Structures are given as C-alpha cells and as structure tokens.
C-alpha cells in the first residue's frame, strides 16, 4: 500500500514538473540566478533522499552530477517575480508555480480590445474596409493603401511559389554558406557560456561581502543589465549594423571571460578581485545582450528568401535547442574538471565564432536579399545573375500587377477565393 502511494505521488510529481518546464520557460533568462540559489540545494537533496529510500544506499557523486545536469538541461527554472515571492520557503512554492497563469490572464483581458490582424481581415474575411481600419490603428495614419496593396501582392506571390523543405534547403548549393552561418551563429548563441555565469553568481557575490539574504536581490542587477543592453542594441542596430554588434559582442565576451578566469583563480590574493569578478559578470551579460542575444534570429530571416525561411528557422531552432541541451548536460562535468578555468572553454568558442563571422558574414543592414545572395554567391560557387535574379524580378512584377487586379476586384465587392 505504501509503495503504491509513493508511486502515484512520484508519477503525479513528474507530470507536474514536465508540463511546468514549458510554462515557466519564458522567464528563464532573467530569473535563473535567483531560482538557482534555492532549487540547486532542494533538487539535489530530493535526489539523495529518493535514491536512498529506493535503493538503500547514498547516491554516488558522478550519478548525482549526471541527474542534476539532465535536470537543468530540460527543466527551465521559474520566473523572476515568482522566485522573489517563493524564496527558500517550501510553503510558498505553489505561488511560484501559479505565476505562469498571470501572463495568460493579462492576455485574456487585453486581447479582446486589440484590433484584428489586417492580413486576416483582408485575405480570410475579404473585408478591405476592416483591414484598412486595423492598419490605421496599428500604424497611426489615415492613408494605408500602400500597406493593403503590399499584403495583396504578397498573398498572390505565395500562390505561385513553392516553399522549400529542410532537405531541399540543405541540398541547395546557392545557400550553402548561409545555412552554415546560421548553424554556427545559433550554436555559438547557446554555447557562448552565458548559462555558466549563473553558476558562479552567488559565490562571487558572497566573496564580495554581500549578505546571503541579499544575494537574490543583488542578482536582480543582472536583469537590469540585460534590459539596458537590449534597449541599447535596439537603438543602434540600424546605425551600426548586425555584423559589428555580433562580432563585437562575442569579442567582448572573450575578453571578460579571460579576466573573469584570472580574477576567480586569484580572488583570495586581493580584496578587490571579487568586485572585479562582479564587474566581469555584468559586462559579459551586457556583451551578450547587445549582439549575440538577439541578432542570430534576425540573421536567419535576412539571409534567405521568403520561400526558404520556414526551413531555415526550423534548422536554426533545432540547432538552438540541441546546443541548449548540450550545455545543460555537459557543463556540470566541465565545471567539475576545470573549476574556474571552465570559462576559457567558452572564451575559445566565442573567439572561434567571432573569427568565423568576421571572415564570412557580410553586413545585411539596408541590403536586399539579392544583394546578400550575391555576396555569398562566390563562396557558394554559383552564379545568381541569370535564372534566380530574373525569376525574383518577374515574381515581384507579377505580384504587383496581380495584387492591383485583386484590389480592384475587392473594391467592386467581389469575393475571390483565389487570393487565399
């Protein structure tokens, strides 16, 4: 009877954890230091107690490290606000799990008052007047005829174009280096070592003399740095371009990882070294957010034509999650073997990524897809001056003409199902 109860409890507990992994993921980046401070001890203690009750002996260190690394690789820690509310008190943990309901309630309350998608109204409902009103609300201007024509032209163009599959994209020689660039950029995005920073945050703050009760609140500074760096990146990305921010971000991470390794190794030799470590942590986070934190997703959309983008994003997403899983699985072993020198591994990855992007990646700011493709053409050993260029031009021209005809049809009140 006792065994049955325990099995039922364990099964229910596993189901809760499994589904909660997805619900809380959206707040992972900003809250990891605070939640890690609480959950690291609790989860490992849970593993120890469960293992001893089931098998009658204490789990060995290697197995415990493996279980923990698997957990952090698939279990995204809870929300920033939820972590502050819950703290180490187990009685408040239901509040932590309930925080995932808040965004849903906000959406339920706000979404009914937002205008419908103009594209949906125009192409699905054939409501040109409603689409124009929606565009006017979104854009804040009265004349939206150009936007309506663009939607109609794009819709007609999609009827005549076949979307490439992932396999077709991988076999396409004309985008071979674009695919390689996306794969390397997304891999470096996850393997750059930012997640490793959170492992040392609490110990570094403690060495600097910060009281342990204040450490979860001090780690909020990392979230502030993330927000400021992201705002800065958004303000300058169209002026400086993608390439300088991406390469510069990885380059700065190499520098700060190196300094952080030295300061952590020698932190007992000088009282000011823990403060230098804190600065390096914040600087590394800022360096990540100004470039590598968001630009890889932008590049994925800018390096490919519309017909290739779905497959490109599938490849990028697959590499992103596999790299994320690898970091969570392998980092505990890297840290156990190299200790503070583990940051040199990530510094090398950032350096290799920066070198690759410096020699391969062109600037995509204010450039058309044809101009970007021409830049890669020599490296891909293909010529784009013939068939692909003329095909793109003819499709664009045809789309504009057909879009004009469709808009005239809609103005006359006729419903044309062929534009869907």
187 CA to centre of own chain: 11
The verdict on residue 224 lying in a domain is yes
Q: How many residues can be counted in the chain?
A: 420
Reported as a pLDDT band with limits 50, 70 and 90, residue 10 is: low
What does the pLDDT look like over 62-98, one tens digit per residue? 777 677 666 655 444 444 444 444 444 566 667 767 7
For residues 245 and 349, membership in a common domain is answered with: yes
In order, the DSSP letters of 149-189 are HHHHHHHHHHHT-PPPPHHHHHH-GGGHHHHHHHHHHHHHH
| In the chain, % of residues over pLDDT 90 | 18
Mark whether 342 and 395 lie in a shared domain.
no
Residues 129 and 256 in one domain: no
Q: d(Cα 388, Cα 383) in Å, to the nearest integer?
A: 9
Domain carrying residue 350: 166-376
Q: Are residues 200 and 292 in the same domain?
A: yes
pTM of the model: 0.63
pLDDT(311) > 70 = yes
Residue with more model confidence, 7 or 291: 291
- In tens, the pLDDT along 23-61 reads 443 334 334 444 444 455 566 677 777 777 777 887 777
Q: Are residues 251 and 352 in the same domain?
A: yes
Q: Are residues 250 and 337 in the same domain?
A: yes
Least confident of 97-101, 141-145, 259-263: 97-101
* Residues 287/252, Cβ–Cβ less than 8 Å: yes
| pLDDT tens digits for range 184-225 | 999 999 999 887 777 777 777 776 666 777 777 777 777 788
Domain count, the chain: 3
Average pLDDT for the chain? 75
Q: How confident is the model at residue 3 (pLDDT cuts 50, 70, 90)?
A: very low
Q: How confident is the model at residue 363 (pLDDT cuts 50, 70, 90)?
A: very high
Task: Say whether both 219 and 269 belong to one domain.
Answer: yes
Q: Looking at residue 267, what is its pLDDT?
A: 82
Whether residue 303 is found in the same domain as residue 182:
yes
Percent of the chain with pLDDT over 70: 71
CATH number at residue 320: 1.20.1250.20
On whether residue 381 sits in a domain, the answer given is no
Rounded mean pLDDT, 355-368 = 91
Whether residue 140 sits in one domain with residue 102? no
Q: Counting runs of H as helices and runs of E as strands, what totals does the chain give? A: 21, 0
Q: Is the pLDDT of residue 385 over 60?
A: no
- Residue 195 near residue 331, CB atoms below 8 Å: yes
Are residues 233 and 149 part of one domain?
Answer: no
Domain end, chosen from 107, 130, 147, is at 107
Residues 319 and 195 in one domain: yes
What region does 213 belong to: left with phi over 0, alpha with psi -120 to 50, or beta? alpha
Instruction: Tell me the pLDDT band of 324, cut-offs 50, 70 and 90.
Output: confident
Question: Same domain, yes or no, for 235 and 330?
Answer: yes
Neighbours of 232 (CB within 10 A): 14
In the predicted model, is pLDDT for residue 358 greater than 70?
A: yes
Q: How many CB atoms lie within 10 A of CB 281?
A: 24
pLDDT of residue 417: 36
The more confident residue out of 214 and 280 is 280
């Amino acid at each position: 009877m006792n065994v049955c109860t325990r099995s039922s409890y364990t099964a229910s507990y596993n189901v809760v954890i499994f589904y909660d992994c997805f619900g809380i993921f959206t707040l992972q980046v900003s809250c990891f230091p605070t939640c890690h401070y609480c959950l690291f001890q609790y989860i490992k203690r849970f593993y120890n107690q469960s293992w001893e009750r089931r098998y009658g002996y204490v789990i060995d260190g290697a197995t415990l490290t493996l279980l923990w690394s698997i957990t952090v690789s698939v279990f995204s820690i809870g929300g920033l606000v939820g972590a502050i509310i819950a703290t180490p008190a187990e009685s408040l943990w239901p509040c932590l799990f309930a925080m995932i309901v808040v965004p849903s309630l906000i959406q339920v309350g706000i979404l009914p008052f937002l205008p419908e998608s103009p594209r949906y109204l125009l192409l699905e409902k054939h409501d040109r007047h409603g689409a124009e009103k929606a565009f006017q609300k979104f854009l804040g201007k009265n004349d939206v005829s150009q936007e309506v024509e663009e939607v109609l032209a794009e819709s007609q163009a999609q009827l005549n174009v076949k979307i490439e599959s992932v396999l077709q994209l991988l076999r396409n020689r004309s985008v071979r280096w674009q695919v390689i660039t996306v794969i390397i950029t997304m891999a470096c995005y996850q393997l750059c070592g930012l997640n490793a920073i959170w492992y040392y945050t609490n110990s570094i703050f403690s060495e600097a003399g910060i009281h342990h009760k204040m450490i979860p609140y001090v780690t909020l500074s990392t979230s502030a740095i993330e927000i400021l760096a992201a705002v800065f990146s958004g303000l300058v990305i169209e002026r400086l371009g993608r390439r300088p921010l991406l390469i510069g971000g990885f380059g700065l991470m190499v520098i700060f990882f190196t300094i952080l390794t030295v300061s952590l190794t020698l932190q007992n030799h000088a009282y000011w070294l823990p403060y230098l470590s804190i600065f390096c942590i914040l600087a590394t986070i800022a360096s990540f957010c100004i470039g590598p934190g968001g630009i890889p997703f932008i590049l994925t959309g800018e390096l490919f034509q519309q017909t290739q983008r779905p497959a490109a994003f599938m490849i990028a997403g697959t590499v992103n999650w596999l790299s994320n899983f690898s970091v969570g699985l392998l980092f505990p072993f890297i840290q156990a073997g190299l200790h503070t020198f583990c940051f040199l591994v990530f510094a090398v990855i950032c350096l290799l990524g920066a070198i690759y992007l410096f020699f391969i990646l062109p600037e995509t700011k204010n450039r058309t897809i044809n101009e970007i493709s021409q830049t890669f053409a020599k490296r891909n050993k293909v010529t784009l001056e013939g068939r692909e260029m003329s095909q793109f031009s003819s499709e664009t021209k045809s789309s504009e003409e057909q879009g004009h005809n469709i808009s005239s049809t809609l103005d006359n009140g006729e419903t044309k199902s062929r534009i869907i």
